Amino acid sequence: MDEDLLTLDSLPGDEILELITLAKAIKTKPGDFADAMQGKTLAMIFQKPSLRTRVSFESGAIKMGGEAIYLSANEIQLGRGETIADTGRCLSRYVDMIMARVYEMADIEELAEGATVPVINGLSNFNHPCQTLSDMLTVSEKKGALKGLKFAFLGDCGNNTCHSWLMSAHKVGIQVACGFPKGYGPDEAALAKAKDFKLTNDPKEAIKGADVVYTDTWMSLHIPEAERKKRFSALKPYQVTNNLMSYAKKDAIFMHCLPAHRGEEMTADVIDGPQSVVFDQAENRMWMQNAIMLKLLGLR
């Protein structure tokens, strides 16, 4: 792997598969890795709060004998009291690794430029590499293999998770189909790094024959009420329902990176139904991130 994990567009397919293999080994026999991070400290910077990102990284580090320090953006004045690069330089004198969950991709890039220890992108506005690698672990578990699968992303396809899938799926032999209304498509910068994908405004066409069906929240907390109504109206035809799922393969799995809003991007009977693997997916954040940390630290 590179010195950092900021995006997936430069991560080769064979290294993705190596991470999946390692994550499975850690998950299967966690006791074998109980001391793998002994004496190592992870700093976790959060501009944007998160249940799954914080607990999965912190618990994962502890399970491997390491330590984790939570740092909110207000506590360290990220980008205000000093440059973000200087924050990276200082933290590198104290810790062995930095994970940051930020609003802007430029912030995580500047942090990595200043840091002399590995930096992990826990989320940015442009991409979400840890989520997608964890998703691939889940798909591998449920489907047995990745090559030859069809992955359908429905709804707002201009988001970070969809971008990460577009930039990496082809490396492991997965075809991506994005179904979205006009104005809600992927960023051109993500498409420029993508291969073997299809874009459509027809949700049925996107999901037809899919092995994996994926959606994400339509609404962020900062979106004003008037904009929320506009978004809901535009995205409603892309809501994942049992009827829409019937166009996918019979053994298709349903995925969502959470938090989910039942009655918006999908119906309750889909996310709580037999095809849903969302909570296995959430658990796998920890196992995959453990693999990522060990690889970046040169411990495996």
Active site residue ranges = 101, 128, 131, 216, 257, 285
Residue 212 DSSP SS3? strand
Amino acid, res. 280: D
User: Which structure tokens are listed for 102?
Assistant: 């930020």
Largest CA distance in the chain: 55
DSSP 8-state secondary structure symbol assigned to residue 186: P
DSSP per residue over 121-140, as a string?
EEE-SS--HHHHHHHHHHHH
Residue 197 DSSP SS3? strand
DSSP per residue over 26-92, as a string?
HHH-GGGGTTTTTT-EEEEEESS--HHHHHHHHHHHHHTT-EEEEEEHHHHTTTTTS-HHHHHHHHH
